[in-house]
Amino acid sequence: MRDGLIITALSALPRHAASRWMGRAAQSTLSRHAIRLFCAVYQPDLSEVEQPLASFPTLQAFFRRPLRPGARPIADAPLTSPADGTLAATGLVSGGRYQQSEQHHGTVATLLSRAGDWEGWRYTTVYLSPRDYHRVHAPFSGEVVRLEHVAGERWPVFAAAVRQLRGLFDNNERLVIELDTGVVVLVGALGVSEIETALTVGRRVSAGDELGSFGFGSTVIVLSAAVPPVVEVGQPVVVGQPL
């Protein structure tokens, strides 16, 4: 019942306009005064941040904060976490579908905005909360063969929405980064004013290299060769950790 009420309320919200407004507000110089309040509410780990809070010109800049060198060692593993957050789902693609939640599945071809044979590949979903580090890193090495921004909805991606909204990730705005070794999808959400990347097609990346960043919290979905999972769903993960 509570989930349904939350989604009903969000249905009445102009989500794209709200996201644009939140983005403009977070990029204004006045927003720097909200950084300490943000930290008090969400309690990010400031010991990992190299520069002092006062040096961030906007809340958006703090949200996209870099970490001190060495804060995220990259494991020598076939699949590492692309982001800090919570492992929300993992499994093997079956019938062209991946599990969004216990209630719903998504379709890989729709998520990636292209047809292809992904049967038997592993999907891995990491949810980023507001407190998390919001840069996304390569979970494996490879060459960038495709970059596509897919316009879409701005539904939130917290647990209630994921449970209630069929095809949530398939319908939300997203950036598809396809390597010759797998795919990383950055899924936008309510309040995610921007998804940025400096990548170009043909660039080769190593595991742990930065791929892009979010303006605010969201979700990353990885498609990779099938490997046995070493982290259970619901557990926290950090960039570079074996998955």
Residues serving a catalytic function are 84, 137, 218
Based on the number of CB atoms within 10 Å of its own CB, is 193 exposed (0-12), middle (13-18) or buried (19 or more)?
Answer: buried
How many residues in the chain?
Answer: 243
Tokens of 191: 């309040």
Cα 190 from Cα 141, distance rounded (Å) = 30
Q: Nearest 5°: phi and psi at 221?
A: -120, 130
Task: For residue 225, give every residue at least 6 positions away whose Cβ sits within 8 Å of its Cβ, in sequence order, or none.
Answer: 78, 121, 122, 181, 182
Beta strands in 40-194 (DSSP E): 85-92, 97-99, 105-107, 122-127, 135-137, 142-150, 174-179, 182-187
Strands 182-187 and 210-214: unpaired
The residues that bridge with 191 in the sheet, in sequence order, are: none
The residues that bridge with 237 in the sheet, in sequence order, are: 85
